[in-house]
Structure 1
Amino acid sequence: MSEPATPAGPGSAPAEPAGGYRVLARKYRPASFDDLIGQEPMVRTVSNAFETGRIPQAWILTGVRGVGKTTTARILARALNYELPDGSITGPTIHMPTMGVHCQAIIESRHIDVLEMDAASHNSVDDVRQINDAVRYAPVSARYKVYILDEVHMLSGAAFNALLKTLEEPPPHAKFIFATTEIRKVPVTVLSRCQRFDLRRVEGAVLVKHLAGIAAKEGVEIEEAALALVARAAEGSVRDSLSLLDQAIAHAAGAVRAEDVRQMLGLADRVRVVDLFEHLMKGDIAAALTELRAQYDIGADPAVVLSDLAEFTHFVTRVKVVPSVADDVSLSEAERTRGRDFASKLSMRVLSRTWQMLLKGVSEVQASGRPVAAAEMVLVRIAYAADLPTPDEVIRSLNGESALPAPRPSGNGGGGGGAGVSASQGFAPRAVARGSAAVSPRSAEDPVAHEQAPPTVALTTFEQLVAFVAEKRDIATRMTLERDVRLVRYEDGQLEIALEASAPRTFVHEFQRKLTTWTGKRWIVVVSKEQGAQTLREKQEEQRAEVERGVQADPLVQAVLSRFPGAKIVGVTQAAPEAVDVPPEPELNEDDED
């Protein structure tokens, strides 16, 4: 797209017609290569091709909506046919300081030799056949016949095939320019015959500068923060940014403030989003829920709030990796300053965990019938996970290397509310008094908190070990022990086993870690190359089969099976032994002993 072009100046869009309003996206549409913004690689390639005379027979332009594909196609058509009334220009050129003989008609899409076709509505073989028939004739007045096919990926397969021969060997006077947002849907046979240009999203800082220039030409007073919000919402699309600017001007009916744009887009205040992020990282659930409700009451969508939180989390992560990211002018000063502060204090693991929880939470809120309640539950999960140790800290604590650190300046944890965080305070985990001891917020309600120092447990047999795992209600580990583990040697604290192919790859490491945690002493679990004994499941199956064979040999059972052909034994249930009343032994008297 373009830098703001002066309607009355050379190389610009035509002046606004009397009696009708033209939207900004059309009024400030670029008319020359000098007007394009954000597409410097493409402009450089085309410029060099025109200067050296290496002009291909076909171009294909791809990119997201609103980055200037159709506009670039018209500029190319104008450059191919640029001609001045005095005849001083005799060939294609990218330098078009004034409006040429054909420029006005090409810009307005009414030139007889520049044919624009919407492939979405003209996608049949008959439409392509008309092009094939007409391309043989020389242009009426221009230098080249130019065919612009917008949304070319909408052509049918037969239409693409019908175009291939003409596209590969067109007449010298014919040029083709294709535009598409779905480049993967274009057959490779077509792509190989075209020179491809991928138009990029326009950066936020460039968009802000572009919108500021247009607002100045329109005589509209607008805050820089409002321009940044519009540029961010446009996501790199110039047309979207101009449409949003048009809407913001109409919405404000005067000076455009950032608050007007937020209300128009249903966005939360970026500063308040940062405050909410800080509450979550400190584990202050009450403050986080209060802030979410406050934003919801003024019209913020809960899903948008979580999306903004995820976006800010992503920004902090990028700043931690590449500090220069915080210099983006499309961001507010509060975001840049506090983003650097968070990046220096939060660990990468914490940021990654928060991002994953927010990403999952956004989809939950969008699918929920009560979005604000779902959003609150997402914030509760994040806040309660704030002072959880990271996996490496858990492993170190289980191996006895060091206890879990209480205050972690580089991580996040609990803490009270507050507008700012000092370097000494950091993001230390919250502690609440209970009696004479300070405990974590979860210590009273999370049973894991009481397993930090378990009593020592002695397990003398492998069967006792399996029963002990069953008591811990670890179903996955018990199933693996019964189904995939063959015992080789066993001692209390040492286990040598052979594993079936179906066993999880991480079973040995995980099981050793769990045993150390549960029993309070060091365990060594080794995988042996020996065959090992039967698995517990195989032993159970063998015992069950033996019982069934014994039952089937019973004459009464055989009589039943013969009486009902096709019947079979599917299971044997052993009845509990009946209690036998044993009479008490008679007491012996002294006379009886004699």
Structure 2
Amino acid sequence: MSYQVLARKYRPRIFAEMVGQEHVLRALINGLDNDRLHHAFLFTGTRGVGKTTVARVLAKCLNCEAGVSSEPCGVCDACREIDQGRFVDLIEVDAASRTRVEDTRELLDNVQYTPTRGRYKVYLIDEVHMLSQHSFNALLKTLEEPPPHVKFLLATTDPQKVPVTILSRCLQFNLKRLPAALIAGHLQHVLEQEGIVADNPALTRLARAADGSLRDALSLTDQAIAYGGGGVNDDDVRTMLGSMEDDAVLQLLERLAADDGAGLLGVVGSLTERAADFHDVLAGMLGHLHTLSLLQSVPGAVDDNEPERERLQALAESLGPEDVQLFYQIGLQGRRDLTLAPEPRAGFEMIMLRMLHFRPVLEQDTPRAAAPSPAPRADRAAPSAAAPVKPKPPVKPKAPEEPPPADEPPWFEAEPQESTPAPTPEPPPPAAVNKAPPAAAPGKPEEPKAVTEIPAWPTLVEQMRLGGISRALAMHCAWGGIDDDQVVLKLERVHTHLRNKPVEQRIEQALSKALGRKVSLNIELVGEVEADTPAELADQDRTRRQEAAEAAIAGDPNVRALKDLFDAEVIPDSIQPRR
């Protein structure tokens, strides 16, 4: 007996053998069991998801000699002939090859005749969107009021090309792309039935390459079995699919994580020697960056059978979320601009170098600014600890002159004064900085006791100049205290998703820079923080300023005059406080 391909050998013959598409099967099964049968069904979806298969099983359910039900017997003459494709009352039409109106009229001339053997005469029209407009017009009247013994089963991959008048006369079922995990599981089942050993990563690669199509996955599996000489292993599948660049893509990401420019260009050179398509390489890199973002944010969303899971996990820990998002955006823009480059390799190298040079370098700034900071903190801490904080009142008259008092909260005003290098906004810190150079040599042993009291936590957050997720995490934390060289922050459990090792390292480095000495960070999870976090204070301030702005608009005589003159209304959402 000749070999039968897997896609045909394991084609479902009953609804229970279908893979996925539960939303379609449930409606069909309930309709069959409750005798609520429509006269026309339209199945839509991409290639290889089961449109024609569902239609054939439905035809079998309608014509089974045991009666109409959702579970055909599979042994009667009608069931066996439908499986073999020779049932006389199942008329299958390929609309792609019969687009003329004459073909459609010839087909419809036989609609009036009763079935020869079955209970229903079933017309299965595949790729129905290929029919001409005149063919659709000829089909319209029959489709609206067919004889009781006729059922129409239509299938298409492009329902947008089917006229609305046809769509409105059919029950529509959209078959979805199948998830890669579901396809891989089915491939495992098929290969177990065939007695073929397969690697799980290989099946995952085949499932991904199928892009949601189960038929494509089975065809690729047939090819992999032939290529591997009777087995399916990951190396053979990678070579067969031409995905050997996957390892090179991971090497590129690893070189980026290590800031290794020479190694990065070396990998690009090896890709050039293999005549790799840089568009495909960039697409693969974007796919891996997406996986890295999932590993950092929602690790459970990544399948354990993901190829190269360990290497991706290591990359997710070595790269910060900001890096991953930045690389992804640069890659998206670069993929669009790659066609404009004078040479594909040159364009790809520029994209890689852009990722390398645009990566945030907060940790490199820490050694430069950490040296002079202990002295000003020491001078500032002494008066605040001694309670007579009277050197600062002279500064307060200047503060309202720059921003209006209603625009920024007190803790927010303090930040620009302390962060500016000029002595005008806040005299005490510059004075301390001027005293720092003569005390630099003897000041080293005094660094441990340089900070006796630190600013309020919201002020400290602004001084740290964090960005992205690092700032979001700090803004949602509350001050828990400092014990020796360990800073304790408290974070509500609802914000646990913000935690990430690279993010916490950035906050720790910024804290060390702001406090003028090396500190470690410990974030404790609590149900509810006692003090207001910087994020809550910012929300309160925004609310206060919004209310003040709305009150100012309501009390403005010009606004009142306009309202009286034109019977106008003020839209509250259109009022924005001035910063």
Do they superpose with TM above 0.5?
yes
Counterpart in the other structure of 1:387: 360
- Give 1:116's aligned amino acid: E
Q: Aligned residue for 2:321?
A: 346
Q: Deviations over 1:491-519 (max 9, x none)?
A: xxxxxxxxxxxxxxxxxxxxxxxxxxxxx
Q: CA 1:134/1:244 → structure 2, altered by over 3 Å: closer, same or farther?
A: same
Which structure 2 segments of 5+ residues have no match?
363-414, 421-461, 473-499, 508-577
Cα separation, partners in 2 of 1:328 and 1:179, compared to 1, 3 Å: farther
Task: Call closer, same or farther: CA 1:265–1:368 in 2, change over 3 Å.
Answer: farther
Q: CA deviation at 1:353?
A: 3.2
Give the C-alpha shift of residue 30 in structure 1. 1.3
3-state DSSP class of the match of 1:197? strand
Shift of 1:377: 2.1
Q: Alpha-carbon deviation of 1:301?
A: 3.6
Choose 1 or 2 for highest CA Rg: 1
- Quick check: 1:56 aligned with 2:31? no
- Counterpart pick for 1:266 among 242, 260, 268: 242
> Does the 8 Å CA contact 2:74/2:80 hold for their aligned counterparts?
no
Aligned match of 2:571: none
Aligned-partner SS, 1:233: helix
Aligned to 1:207: 183
SS in 1 for 2:28: helix
**Counterpart AA for 1:380:** L
- Offset from partner CA, 1:137-178 (integer Å, 9 cap, x none): 100001100001111111111111111111111111000011
* 1:283-294 correspondence runs (5 A): 283-294=259-270
1:232–1:330 Cα contact (<8 Å) kept: no
1:67 corresponds in structure 2 to: 49
Q: Residue 15 of structure 2 is aligned with which of 33, 44, 56?
A: 33
* Secondary structure of the corresponding residue to residue 102 of structure 1: helix
Give the aligned residue type for 1:160. Answer: F
SS at 1:381 equivalent:
helix
Query: Where does residue 346 of structure 2 map in the other structure?
Result: 373
Alignment of 1:41-440 (within 5 A): 41-83=23-65, 89=66, 91-268=67-244, 270=246, 272-295=248-271, 297=273, 300-327=276-303, 329-334=305-310, 337-338=313-314, 341=317, 345-347=320-322, 350-365=323-338, 370-387=343-360, 402=463
C-alpha separation between the residues in 1 aligned to 2:160 and 2:281? 34
SS at match of 1:134: coil
Name the aligned partner's letter for residue 42 of structure 1. V
SS of equivalent to 2:109: helix
1:323-365 deviations in whole A, cap 9, x for unaligned? 431245455432663475368x313xx4443223212333444
CA positional deviation for 1:218 = 2.4
State the SS of the aligned residue for 1:175.
strand
The one-character-per-residue Cα deviations of 1:16-66 (angstroms, maximum 9, x if unpaired) are xx1x22222122211111110011111111111111101110111111111
**Code of the aligned partner of 2:149:** H
Identity of aligned residues (%): 38
Provide closer, same or farther for how the CA distance between residues 215 and 155 of structure 1 changes in structure 2, counting only shifts above 3 A. same
Question: Relative to 1, partners in 2 of residues 1:289 and 1:101: Cα closer, same or farther, differing over 3 Å?
Answer: same
Task: Give yes or no for contact 1:346–1:410 (8 Å, CA) kept in 2.
Answer: no
Q: Is 2:5 aligned against 1:23?
A: yes
- In the alignment, the residues of structure 1 paired with residue 272 and residue 4 of structure 2 have an alpha-carbon distance, to the nearest angstrom, of 36
Q: Distance in 2 between matches of 1:47 and 1:320?
A: 42
Is the contact between residue 72 and residue 79 of structure 2 (CA under 8 Å) also seen in structure 1? no
Aligned-partner Cα distance in 1 for 2:14–2:342: 50
Q: Could you tell me how far apart the structure 2 residues matched to 1:408 and 1:115 are?
A: 61
Describe the SS at the equivalent of 2:332: helix
Distance 1:129 1:346 in 2: 62
Normalised to the residue count of structure 1, the TM-score between the two structures is: 0.59
Q: Cα 1:246–1:62, aligned 2, differ >3 Å: closer, same or farther?
A: same
- In structure 2, what is the Cα distance between the partners aligned to 1:108 and 1:372? 53
The 1-side partners of 2:38 and 2:220 are apart by: 37
After superposition, the Cα gap between the structure-2 partners of 1:186 and 1:338, relative to the gap in structure 1 and judged at 3 Å, is: farther
One-letter amino acid matched to 2:44: T
CA–CA distance in structure 1, aligned partners of residues 173 and 72 of structure 2 = 22
Write the distance in 1 (CA, Å) between the matches of 2:183 and 2:158: 24
In the alignment, the residues of structure 1 paired with residue 314 and residue 109 of structure 2 have an alpha-carbon distance, to the nearest angstrom, of: 64
Report the structure, 1 or 2, having the larger helix content.
Answer: 2
Whichever residue aligns with residue 214 of structure 1, its letter is V
Q: Distance in 2 between matches of 1:66 and 1:397?
A: 61
Instruction: Quote how far apart the aligned CAs of 1:273 are.
Output: 3.1
Counterpart AA for 2:321? L
2:204–2:307 Cα contact (<8 Å) kept = yes
Per the alignment, in what secondary structure is the counterpart of residue 196 of structure 1? strand
**Alignment gaps of 5+ in structure 1:** 1-17, 84-88, 390-395, 412-420, 429-524, 527-594
| Residue identity in the other structure for 2:333 | K
Separation of aligned partners in 1, 2:174 and 2:306? 24
Structure 1 distance, partners of 2:348, 2:157, is 34
So what's the TM-score if we normalise by structure 2? 0.61
CA distance in 2, matches of 1:205, 1:404: 43
**Secondary structure at 2:99's aligned position in 1?**
coil
Say which SS state the counterpart of residue 76 (structure 1) adopts: helix
